[in-house]
Structure 1
Amino acid sequence: MFSLFRENVLIALDSIRTQLLRTILTIVIIGIGIWALVGILSAVKAIENTISNDFASMGANTFNIQRYEFTVQRNGGERKKVNPIISYTDVRAFIDNYEFPFTKTSVSFVGTASAEVKFENEKTDPEVQVYGINENYLDNTGSKLGEGRNFTVFDIENNNKVCILGSDFMKSLFKNDDPINKTISIRGVKFKVVGVLESKGSTFGNNQDLKVLIPIQVARSIFTQPNINYSISVMVEDKEMMQGAQDVAIVTFRNVRKLTPVEENNFGIERSDDLINRIGMITGYLEVAAWIISIITILGSSIALMNIMLVSVTERTREIGVRKALGAKRSTISMQFFIETIVIGQFGSILGIILGILTGFGFASVLGFEFTLPWSAMIWATIITFLVAVIAGSYPATKAAGLDPIESLRYE
């Protein structure tokens, strides 16, 4: 049984070699369909992994008060509503009035995204982000310390000139040195390094590791540009209390903004798990699009595969007659053509999977995303091409098996 199967595989490979151009074109057509499926799903998976990890690091028990909702709707030609910035006055009023048990409130703002940091005779390029934060920022954003300590309430309230560095400074200013307790300079102000963050990589080209965190009041004295927009983040210890904490926060901030009961919120509120769900929905649409594109392409490739096998049957009519005259059974002839279509299909599958993985890896590398092998897409690609080969090869195999040996021997 095995020897017969091996013989059929060898005959199939020999037949493929004799009609190489048509076979290559069919393999390429099948490969394009699988490439579309595996490539798009690889890219989607890379996006989903990176963004979900970034938002998951905020913690499922966190919500943010921000200037706008995550999505701002445009109705017809109307201009979108312009919400006021979240000012420091709003922040102070919210912290003083928000009372909900077992919560931590984080406040932060971006002082600049183009700071130059100096240490002794060394300095960085002017591309360092400087954040003003309070003592709860690291916990609420899921940031972890690689070494050193977090800011204390004492640091924040007494405007201590201390800072926490991103991990990229270990590759530049402090390549051969321990930064803890060293002194750096930002815009002429000296800060003592008390901690270094673990690496978080980059998202959409934004380097998360090239930043400096300093106490919020110190940051306000250095970065005095008008209309600074602050970020407020609230973490709840118990997820069951999340909705209650969020409702109280909305009421508190409405009071801070002096809104009447009939006025809409002029601010946004967003939970980290809502963002993850929304991202999952978007990537779900992309996955559906990938399946539709690949199915249409594979449908075309199945027709091409059936045509090449029908041509093969016609060209090898005399060979089939000889084999039948020598005692070959219908099932043997049929199996030969089945194996041939399956071999061509799997070659197309392998080509498409390789191209898809390379596309996904290239996409992830260029944008700095986290790439993982799309195992489910690869498995489905193999199954789909096998089924396509079986369906496309059924009619040619049946036609070949049903040929009359006498008529076949007389065929020229």
Structure 2
Amino acid sequence: MFSLFRENVRIALDSIRSQLLRTILTVVIIGIGIWALVGILSAVKALENTISTNFSSMGANTFNIQRYEFNVQRGGGGEREKINPIISYNNIREFEDTYEFPGTYTSVSFRCTSNAEVKFENEKTDPEIQVYGVNENYLQNTGTEVESGRAFTYFDIKNNNKVCLIGSDFTKGLFKDVNPVGKTLSIRGVKFKVVGVLESKGSTFGNNQDLKVLIPIQVARGMYTSPNINYTISIKVDDKQYLQTAQDEAIITFRNIRGLSPIEENNFGIERSEDLINRITSITGVLEVAAWIISIITILGSSIALMNIMLVSVTERTREIGVRKALGAKRSTISTQFFMETIVIGQFGSILGILLGVLTGVAFAAIFNFDFSLPWAPMIWATIITFIVAVIAGAYPATKAAKLDPIESLRYE
């Protein structure tokens, strides 16, 4: 049985070599369909990995109060876009004083600037550093770890100490070959002592999260005095089973702070990391469906091309088929041979498409700094699909070859 299978594969390869150009074109067409499937799904998977990692670091038991929801809805029919007031400093102070749900930690923060210039001794960075004003709970609520040194303490924040935490990329530039902990850097002429270096978080959509400086929030307010500073409130719950209750209490508290009546809608947003992940997943789901549609259309075209090349092969080898039948070859032997040829061609196309798709995913992840992982499911599906396509495309040519009359076939010129 195995020797017959091996012989059929050998004959199939010899046949492929004899019509190399047509075979290459068919393999390329099949490969393009599989490339579309594996390539798009690889890129989508890399996007999902990165987003899930970044948002899940916020914690499954954490939620934010911010100016807008993740999806700001615009009014239709000439209706204006809803504009929420900023979350002001007075709002966050009143919230901290009022919100007392047990087992929670409240973090308040704001982004001071995204183009700061940081100086150390006689060197300075490009004006591309993000500076955040934060309190002592910011790190744990955002899932940020300290790689070396220490985190902010309660007294650092309350005493407005001139201390800071820096992103890991500073150790590759400004503090290259120097331990930054204990050193003094300057931002806008204000000197800060570095007390810790944050663990690397990478980059998301071109936003480098490792080129940032965290400073105490009151110190930041003294340095950056824009009248429209928008703050973010983050609440972490010790026990996830109380997350919804804590969130409801936070909404009631903030509605009272905003002076909203019971019939008025919230003029602020509530977001949980899992909500963001679910929404991103729904978006990537649409991309996955698009990938399947594109690949199915392309593979359908490749199946027609594969059937055509096999029909031409049957016609060209009519005399050969007649000789085989005259020597005692059965119908099943002839049909199996042609089936084997279509399957071999299909799998060549599958291998080409998978390689191109994986390379596309790797390139996409490298360009956008996403977390790439091999798309095993699409690769397995690609192999199965090409096998099914080969069987369907080879059924008619194989049946036609098997039914040829040996005498008429021997007369064929």
TM tier, shorter chain? over 0.9
- 2:42 aligns to what? 42
Q: Give the drift of 1:2.
A: 2.3
Q: C-alpha separation between the residues in 2 aligned to 1:78 and 1:24?
A: 57
Q: Give the drift of 1:26.
A: 1.1
| Aligned-CA RMSD value | 0.9
- 2:57 aligns to what? 57
- 1:269 aligns to what? 270
- 2:169 aligns to what? 168
2:30 maps to 1:30: yes
- 2:246 aligns to what? 245
Q: Give the drift of 1:283.
A: 1.3
Q: C-alpha separation between the residues in 2 aligned to 1:110 and 1:248?
A: 26
Secondary structure at the aligned position of 2:385 is classed as helix
Q: Give the drift of 1:224.
A: 1.1
Q: C-alpha separation between the residues in 1 aligned to 2:194 and 2:72?
A: 40
Q: Give the drift of 1:74.
A: 2.1
- 2:332 aligns to what? 331
Q: C-alpha separation between the residues in 2 aligned to 1:88 and 1:306?
A: 70
Q: C-alpha separation between the residues in 2 aligned to 1:278 and 1:185?
A: 40
2:185 maps to 1:184: yes
Q: Give the drift of 1:32.
A: 1.0
Q: Is the 8 A contact 2:74 2:82 kept in 1?
A: no
* Superposed CA offset, 1:236-278 (max 9, x none): 1111101110111011111111111121111111111111111
Q: Give the drift of 1:180.
A: 0.9
Q: C-alpha separation between the residues in 2 aligned to 1:330 and 1:262?
A: 80
Q: C-alpha separation between the residues in 2 aligned to 1:121 and 1:53?
A: 37
Q: C-alpha separation between the residues in 2 aligned to 1:288 and 1:137?
A: 38
Segments of 4+ in structure 1 off by > 3 A? none
- 1:234 aligns to what? 235
TM-score normalized by structure 1? 0.98
Secondary structure at the aligned position of 1:177 is classed as coil
Q: C-alpha separation between the residues in 2 aligned to 1:251 and 1:6?
A: 74
- 1:72 aligns to what? 72
**1:379-398 superposed matches below 5 A:** 379-398=380-399
* Superposed CA offset, 1:10-42 (max 9, x none): 211111122122211211111111011101100
Q: C-alpha separation between the residues in 2 aligned to 1:133 and 1:244?
A: 25
Q: C-alpha separation between the residues in 1 aligned to 2:405 and 2:265?
A: 82
- 2:259 aligns to what? 258
Matched residue type, 1:253: F
2:367 maps to 1:375: no
- 1:129 aligns to what? 130
Q: Give the drift of 1:326.
A: 1.7
Q: C-alpha separation between the residues in 1 aligned to 2:206 and 2:73?
A: 26
**1:285-300 superposed matches below 5 A:** 285-300=286-301
Q: C-alpha separation between the residues in 2 aligned to 1:350 and 1:332?
A: 27
How many residues of Structure 1 are paired with residues of Structure 2 in the alignment? 412
Q: Is the 8 A contact 2:73 2:82 kept in 1?
A: no
Q: C-alpha separation between the residues in 2 aligned to 1:246 and 1:114?
A: 34
Q: Give the drift of 1:226.
A: 2.1
Secondary structure at the aligned position of 1:86 is classed as coil
Decide which moves more: 200-209 or 172-181.
172-181
2:125 maps to 1:117: no
**1:141-160 superposed matches below 5 A:** 141-160=142-161
Secondary structure at the aligned position of 2:337 is classed as helix
Matched residue type, 1:59: G
Q: Give the drift of 1:212.
A: 0.4
Q: Is the 8 A contact 2:149 2:197 kept in 1?
A: yes
Q: Give the drift of 1:335.
A: 1.2
Q: C-alpha separation between the residues in 2 aligned to 1:190 and 1:73?
A: 43
Decide which moves more: 297-306 or 238-247.
297-306
- 1:13 aligns to what? 13
Q: Is the 8 A contact 2:182 2:195 kept in 1?
A: yes
Q: C-alpha separation between the residues in 1 aligned to 2:102 and 2:286?
A: 39
Q: Give the drift of 1:175.
A: 1.4
* Superposed CA offset, 1:52-98 (max 9, x none): 00000000001000111111222323111111111111110111111
Q: C-alpha separation between the residues in 1 aligned to 2:149 and 2:390?
A: 61
Secondary structure at the aligned position of 1:191 is classed as strand
- What is the percentage of aligned positions where both structures have the same residue? 80
TM-score normalized by structure 2? 0.98
- 2:104 aligns to what? 103
Q: C-alpha separation between the residues in 2 aligned to 1:94 and 1:75?
A: 30
Secondary structure at the aligned position of 2:69 is classed as coil
* Superposed CA offset, 1:386-408 (max 9, x none): 11111111111111111111000
Q: C-alpha separation between the residues in 2 aligned to 1:184 and 1:23?
A: 65
Secondary structure at the aligned position of 1:107 is classed as strand
Decide which moves more: 372-381 or 281-290.
281-290
Decide which moves more: 30-39 or 273-282.
273-282
Decide which moves more: 186-195 or 296-305.
296-305
Q: C-alpha separation between the residues in 2 aligned to 1:176 and 1:294?
A: 50
Decide which moves more: 119-128 or 36-45.
119-128
* Superposed CA offset, 1:333-365 (max 9, x none): 111101100010001101111111111111111
Q: Give the drift of 1:3.
A: 2.4
Q: C-alpha separation between the residues in 2 aligned to 1:83 and 1:184?
A: 37
Matched residue type, 1:390: V
Secondary structure at the aligned position of 1:69 is classed as coil
